[in-house]
A and B are shown apart, each in its own frame.
Chain A
Amino acid sequence: MNIWGTFKIALRALSRNKMRSSLTMLGIIIGVGAVIAVGGIGQGASAQIQSQIANLGNNMLFVMSGSQTQGGMRGGAGTTPTLTADDADAIERECPAVRAVSPGVRASGQLVYGNQNWAASSGIQGANEKFPDIRAWPVAEGEFFTEGDVRTSARVCVIGKTIKDNLFSGSDAIGQTMRIRNLPFRVIGVLSTKGQNAFGQDQDDTVIVPYTTAQKKMRSITWIDQVMVSAISPSATFTAEKQITDLLRQRHRIAANLDNDFFVRNLTDVAEAADASSKIMTNLLASVAGVSLLVGGIGIMNIMLVSVTERTREIGIRMAIGARSGVIRRQFLIESVTLSAVGGIFGVAVGIGASIIISNTLGWPTLVSPLSIIVAVIFSMLVGILFGYYPARKAASLDPIDALRYE
């Protein structure tokens, strides 16, 4: 007797007790629904964090100059001019895990265009031509400055969207001349919108100029504040950190027993920790949801046991006319798997509905992946097999004579 025939027998048996079948399914529906909804919330949060990681740039690390100690007072990171553009070149040249490097020089000052003026909250940043690549931040209009602009300390700038909106009132800024710290700069590009960073700071409220221009024309310094580094891959950021540390200790001739005169910050690291904690939370919630699936499975087992007892005579008839015990076992197993699988499919629908409602009412990002749907349905079928096996075995082990005599 083939599976399809057994399946039809099972379906008919289930449809005879519609109320009971649907109540039994309800346990699985709630369980799977909870798993899907919770998984959706968790994956939504995770996706948000992932996009923030991507927002930080391409596998990015920062090298900051070290702290200065003056009369016992330590000034904190970036207070001592230990990093140079040569260090940045060396990092790019000699660290295999590093893909691209840009020196960074920070400046502040008032921006003026026509009768408007503005102070960029994210400051004026000096960088080289690789900035858009390293920060994963392309220009939306115009273009970025070139290596030649960097070499010649050209007075050109690329502005963020917020600057364009405030200083130029949203009108075309390309080719216009604005004044930064009273020096005229030609606007050659507008960056695409990046939005807020993880700390709520408006990243679009910034101006990017060649770092050489910031060094010479704004700060009158020869050092740089930081080096922006892009590693070859997300997993290479740790290797890159080590290679940079070793290289700079060597270049700065730091004895083995002394501290670094620089800091390497691995941003991916921080973000991944946040991601990991969100994953732990998701797993925790998912296991609670899994428990409700388990309870649904016990409900199936309960009902199947009742059903086997009620249908003892039917089992006896089927055995007397030649059903092998394996066929009887399969029939009941298919009934329980059908209950749990159909419940699982409805549960997926309920879970998707719930996560849509959650994201609409609470504003949490949710993401239900096809994989989680497939896993949920397969898992609910496994629940059916697991909890249906014992009742099915019980049915198959009945003695036909006793079963026929059962009232």
Chain B
Amino acid sequence: MDTRVIAEQERAADSLVEPALIRLDHIHKIYQMGDIEIHALRGISLHIDRGEFVAIMGASGSGKSTTMNILGCLDKPTRGHYILDGQDVSQLSKDELADIRNRKIGFVFQGFNLLSRTSALENVELPMLYLGLKPAERMKRATEALEIVGLSERMHNMPNQLSGGQQQRVAIARSLVNHPSIILADEPTGNLDSRTSIEVMDVFQRLNQERGITIALVTHEPDIAQYARRVVIFKDGRIKRDEMVETTRSAREELESLPPMEDDDEEDEE
């Protein structure tokens, strides 16, 4: 507990002198579909500080996915500025954006998106391959990341030999290895049952609380959003509400209160 308090105090102190980790300034995104212009985002402004755990919610077509794509440097805003870690990334070239994604952003997707027929370890090594790290360093960091998500026993398994929850944890390990500024998780529990969802949220909460990793989570499930500390709700291309969660759910406590089920090792043998 002490270390957590100290970490939070440090973060609070940092935020006084440091600018926000993420600053979206009047972001507009307009898609041209033939003759019709679709206004996906109508002037979004959003700040996310270092160490935050933000849930982004909204109906489909509300602009949350577009925002996520822009936050992830997969897409560029039509107008407005996106300052990531002090750098304006709104109008960078394709290659520069690829480098930003590699170094500053970790992705976790709904469909896991692991490379098939490639071991968990090699999947986790992939971002470091593109960063240009030496094999020994890659191996060391990938092993560490898999330990953090509790999968060191399974590092040589192929994705099809792992359960959904395990696959998602490999994906989380992959998003960690380059020490990104932020982890973007797009419906990470969408393909998982409720217990596995809580397990995955537990991993995110531990990363956020114990390691101070900034996380932005897109979800349409209100109860999943309650694991975050702040919820931003989108509607019709605008931010409708942006508020702190009154009582953040603790995945750890919920897991402890659940009856002990089959553990991960058995799941994949079903």
Interface residues of A (CB under 8 A from B): 1-2, 5, 12, 16, 313-314, 316-327, 400-401, 404
Contacts and interface: CB of A to CB of B under 8 A. Distances in A.
Contacts, number: 58
Contacts of A325: 94-95, 98
Nearest 10 A/B pairs, CB to CB:
A322-B102, A322-B130, A324-B98, A321-B127, A324-B95, A322-B101, A317-B113, A323-B130, A401-B74, A400-B74
Contact of B102 (A12, A317, A321): A321
Contact of B130 (A16, A314, A321): A321
Given A320-B113, A322-B103, 11 more contacts: A1-B129, A16-B117, A317-B113, A319-B98, A320-B107, A321-B102, A321-B127, A322-B99, A324-B94, A325-B95, A400-B74
A327 B75 contact: no
Contacts of A16: 117
B74 A322 contact: no
Decide if the interface of chain A is mainly helix, strand, loop or mixed. helix
Interface size class of B (residues with CB under 8 A): 20 to 34
B75 A322 contact: no
Contacts of A319: 98, 101
Given A321-B102, A322-B101, A1 B130 contact: yes
Contact of B126 (A313, A321, A324, A400): A321
B51 interface: no
A323 B98 contact: yes
A397 to B, nearest CB: 10
Given A314-B115, A317-B113, A401-B74, A322 B131 contact: yes
Contacts of A324: 94-95, 98-99, 130
A311 to B, nearest CB: 9
21 contacts: A1-B129, A316-B113, A317-B113, A319-B98, A320-B74, A321-B101, A321-B102, A321-B107, A321-B127, A322-B102, A322-B103, A322-B127, A323-B98, A324-B94, A324-B95, A324-B98, A324-B99, A325-B95, A327-B130, A400-B74, A404-B109
A146 B40 CA distance: 105
Contact of A318 (B75, B95, B117, B126): B126
Contacts of B126: 318, 321
B94 A317 contact: no
B174 A321 contact: yes
Interface in B66-115: 69, 72, 74-75, 94-95, 98-99, 101-103, 107, 109, 113-115
A264 to B, nearest CB: 71
Contacts of A404: 109, 113
B69 A401 contact: yes
Given A321-B101, A400-B74, A401-B74, A2 B113 contact: no
B101 A320 contact: yes
A5 B115 CA distance: 16
Contacts of B34: none
B73 to A, nearest CB: 9
B214 to A, nearest CB: 18
A1 B115 CA distance: 18
Contacts of B129: 1, 5
Nearest to A326: B95
B132 interface: yes
A154 to B, nearest CB: 85
A90 B47 CA distance: 105
A321 B74 CA distance: 10
Given A1-B129, A1-B132, A324-B98, A317 B115 contact: yes
B75 A401 contact: yes
A358 B69 CA distance: 63
Contacts of B117: 16
Contacts of B99: 322, 324
Q: Kindly name the residue among A1, A322, A325, A401 whose own CB sees the greatest number of chain B CB atoms within 10 A.
A: A322
B64 to A, nearest CB: 14
Nearest to B101: A322
Contacts of B109: 404
A244 B130 CA distance: 75
Nearest to A6: B129
A314 to B, nearest CB: 6
A228 to B, nearest CB: 73
Q: Kindly name the residue among A313, A317, A319 whose own CB sees the greatest number of chain B CB atoms within 10 A.
A: A317
Q: Kindly name the residue among A12, A16, A314, A321 whose own CB sees the greatest number of chain B CB atoms within 10 A.
A: A321
Contacts of B116: 314
A326 B130 CA distance: 11
A1 B133 CA distance: 8
A2 B132 contact: yes
A99 B209 CA distance: 97
Nearest to B66: A401
Given A1-B129, A314-B115, A320 B95 contact: no
A320 B74 CA distance: 7
Nearest to A323: B130
Q: Kindly name the residue among B69, B98, B132 whose own CB sees the greatest number of chain A CB atoms within 10 A.
A: B98
A313 B102 CA distance: 17
Nearest to A320: B107
Contacts of B72: 320
A328 to B, nearest CB: 10
Nearest to A16: B117
